[in-house]
Amino acid sequence: MKLLLINPNTSGAMTESIARVARSVALPGTEVLAVHPSFGPASIECQYDEAFAAAGVAEQVRRAEAWRPDAIVLACFGDPGLDAAREASGLPVIGVAEAAFHAASLVATSFSVVTTLTRTCITAERLLHRYGFERLCRGVHGTDIPVLDLEEPSEPLVQRIEQAARAALAKDRSGAIVLGCAGMATLCAELSARLQVPVIDGVSVAVKLAESLVSLGLSTSRLGDYASPPAKPYSGWASDLGWQP
């Protein structure tokens, strides 16, 4: 199958490292095309960033149509543009936050999220409510690590995440850690070894869920609000991105 992996931020280095993780868990027959928007923020750390990132996701969904993907993974923990990507593509589209919450709920009775800037905790909490996981997540914890510091993680940075995770497990009395940034995907194996609890990287889970849905023949419903967008002209820099059947 062909899997389109969209990193909604514009960091080429992060796109590459996320793609390496995705390819390391993908089945031998899964081809991963990793892309990022042609415009927008280098990292997504606030709602202003997210507004541009969602448009960038829509852009990349349209640009990749010719490649004919079977499924799409959105590799940013805010899941920006998730609904738009489902509408526009009709394919299985998996956001890494939604994927990680599902996986965590299967391996522990409750979990904690460890993320980047403290301000993004509120975004993660909103997503937990939106997806219905607020009862299972016992805490969202910021580390105040800027997303771009994860491009080349140093040992002190890994230790900061490890310490935040240990504190979260103790304070929340939870059984698993969800990594609250796609840029943390490369650290999952190391943190799993150090923490000795399930550590969930949403990128890996999203790849496996996308493969599962494709193999089961399950795709986005076209009934209701995931129906194709109505065709209409778009203007300005988005003039070639309006949905045409």
Size of the chain, expressed as the number of residues it contains: 245
Q: In what order do the strands lie in the sheet with 111-114?
A: 137-141, 111-114, 176-179, 199-200
Asked if 186 touches ligand 2AL (CB under 6 A), the answer is no
Residue 121 or 214 having the CB closest to ligand 2AL:
121
x/- site string to ligand 2AL, residues 58 to 97, per CB under 6 A? ------------------xxx-------------------
Taking CB under 6 A as the criterion, the residue among 6, 44, 58, 72 binding ligand 2AL is 44
Contact predicate 61/83, CB 8 Å? no
The β-bridge partners of 95 are: 74
Asked if 174 touches ligand 2AL (CB under 6 A), the answer is no
Distances (CA, A) of 181 to 11, 17, 29, 89, 117: 14, 13, 27, 24, 10
Taking CB under 6 A as the criterion, the residue among 182, 187, 191, 200 binding ligand 2AL is 182
Asked if 52 touches ligand 2AL (CB under 6 A), the answer is no
Location of structure tokens 């042609």: 38
Any alpha helices (H) in 93-154, and if so which ranges? 96-107, 120-131
Asked if 142 touches ligand 2AL (CB under 6 A), the answer is no
Instruction: For the CB of residue 1, give the shortest distance to ligand 2AL in the complex, in Å.
Output: 24
Instruction: For the CB of residue 36, give the shortest distance to ligand 2AL in the complex, in Å.
Output: 10
Angstrom distance (rounded) from CA 83 to CA 106: 24
Asked if 180 touches ligand 2AL (CB under 6 A), the answer is yes
Asked if 116 touches ligand 2AL (CB under 6 A), the answer is yes
Q: Which stretch binds ligand 2AL (CB under 6 A): 31-39, 175-183, 208-216, 220-228?
A: 175-183
Residue 6 or 181 having the CB closest to ligand 2AL:
181
Angstrom distance (rounded) from CA 178 to CA 206: 13
Q: Which stretch binds ligand 2AL (CB under 6 A): 151-159, 164-172, 174-182, 220-228?
A: 174-182
Residue 1 or 157 having the CB closest to ligand 2AL:
157
Per-residue DSSP letter, 186: G
What angle do helix axes 120-131 and 96-107 make, rounded to 10 degrees? 70
Q: Which stretch binds ligand 2AL (CB under 6 A): 63-71, 98-106, 115-123, 231-239?
A: 115-123
User: Which segments of the chain are extended strands (E)?
Assistant: 2-6, 31-35, 71-74, 93-95, 111-114, 137-141, 176-179, 199-200
For residue 176 the two structure tokens come to 């698993």
Residue 105 or 120 having the CB closest to ligand 2AL:
120
Return residues touching ligand 2AL (CB under 6 A).
9, 43-45, 76-78, 115-116, 120, 147, 180-183
